[in-house]
Amino acid sequence: MSEVLDWLRSSPLLGVFLTLAGYRLGRELHERTGGHALAQPVLVAIVTVGLALWALDVEYDAYLTGAGIIGFFLGPATVALAVPLHRQAHHLRELALPMLVAIPVGAAVSIVTAVLTVRALGGGDTLQRTMAPKAATTPVSIALSDTIGGLPPLTAVLSIVVGILGAVAAPAVLTLLRFRDHRARGLAMGAVSHGIGTSRALHDDPTEGAFSGLSMGLTALAIAGLLPLLFLVI
């Protein structure tokens, strides 16, 4: 039995299988709950795989020998994000100036307030760098975290959580603050809660969803450009 387990721990098969199985379970749960924002397939997958690794006593590095094969495709998938951005780009003309000001300023505000809040409450430099890119869509935030010296896995989870926060709470907060314009609402949701917020926006209103998607793509680029510059001054 221990021989079988040893083989399993060192085989790439385990990582690939667990990742796919966890994701499959997550999708199932997402469907069964009628697409509830809390039942994000990725979150369910992370918890399931984490528990399985703990139960089978498999190290994270050993898991990566297989899971790394799946993770590799995150690179080309990040490049592929240009396609939805391209599809939404015609909306840019409708609202060019407000958008070209609000999105970079919003990105800067997200980064600076994240870093300063963590710092004020005693979080170290690495944690500040981990928190800084979290408003970008998860594939981009993971890559940015790695580039600026954060902890990419933690940034991934923070991005997912901030996405869920947006899907659950952003519409209510925006309504409470009397933001009724669908375009302004969509742009704000995409800027802070990326893809997960966008799926909620799409569910509420097609215009809100389109602008949220556009905002998510532009925000990812704005955060990528601003991060190294802002870290020189804050």
Partner 1 sequence: MINGLLWLLACQLAGEVVVRALDLQLPGPVVGMALLFVLLRWRRPSDESPTIRAADALLRHLQLLFVPAGVGVVTYLTLLREDALPIAAGLLVSWLAGLVTVAGLVVLLRRRRA
Does 167 participate in binding partner 1 (rule CB under 8 A)?
Answer: no
Residue 142, classified by CB atoms within 10 Å of its CB into exposed (0-12), middle (13-18) or buried (19+), is buried
Does 98 participate in binding partner 1 (rule CB under 8 A)?
Answer: yes
Choose which of 25, 95, 168, 230 interacts with partner 1 (CB under 8 A). Answer: 95
Q: Give the range of 4-12, 31-39, 149-157, 201-209 binding partner 1 by CB under 8 A.
A: 149-157
CA angle 149, 150, 154 (to 5 degrees): 160
Give CA–CA dist 19/121, Å, rounded.
Answer: 35
Eight-state DSSP code of residue 33? T
Q: Give the range of 2-10, 39-47, 201-209 binding partner 1 by CB under 8 A.
A: 39-47
* Site of tokens 């369910």: 44
Residue 204 in contact with residue 188, Cβ under 8 Å?
no
Residue 152 in contact with residue 179, Cβ under 8 Å?
no
Choose which of 5, 31, 38, 71 interacts with partner 1 (CB under 8 A). Answer: 71
Q: Give the range of 3-11, 31-39, 200-208, 221-229 binding partner 1 by CB under 8 A.
A: 221-229
Residues between 173 and 202 that touch partner 1 (CB under 8 A): 173-174, 177, 179, 181, 183-185, 187-189, 191-193, 195
Q: Which one, 148 or 202, has the nearer CB to partner 1?
A: 148
Residue 163 in contact with residue 192, Cβ under 8 Å?
no
Residue 44 in contact with residue 29, Cβ under 8 Å?
yes
Q: Give the range of 2-10, 31-39, 78-86, 202-210 binding partner 1 by CB under 8 A.
A: 78-86
Residue 92 in contact with residue 210, Cβ under 8 Å?
no
Choose which of 158, 201, 216, 226 interacts with partner 1 (CB under 8 A). Answer: 158
* Closest distance to partner 1 from the beta carbon of 163 (Å): 10
Does 144 participate in binding partner 1 (rule CB under 8 A)?
Answer: yes
Mapping DSSP to helix (H, G, I), strand (E, B) and coil, where does residue 187 land?
A: helix
Residues between 6 and 35 that touch partner 1 (CB under 8 A): 15, 19-20, 22-23, 26
* Closest distance to partner 1 from the beta carbon of 3 (Å): 25
* Closest distance to partner 1 from the beta carbon of 114 (Å): 4
Q: Which one, 10 or 117, has the nearer CB to partner 1?
A: 117
Q: Give the distance from CA 102 to its chain's centroid.
A: 20
DSSP run (H or E) holding 17: helix 12-32
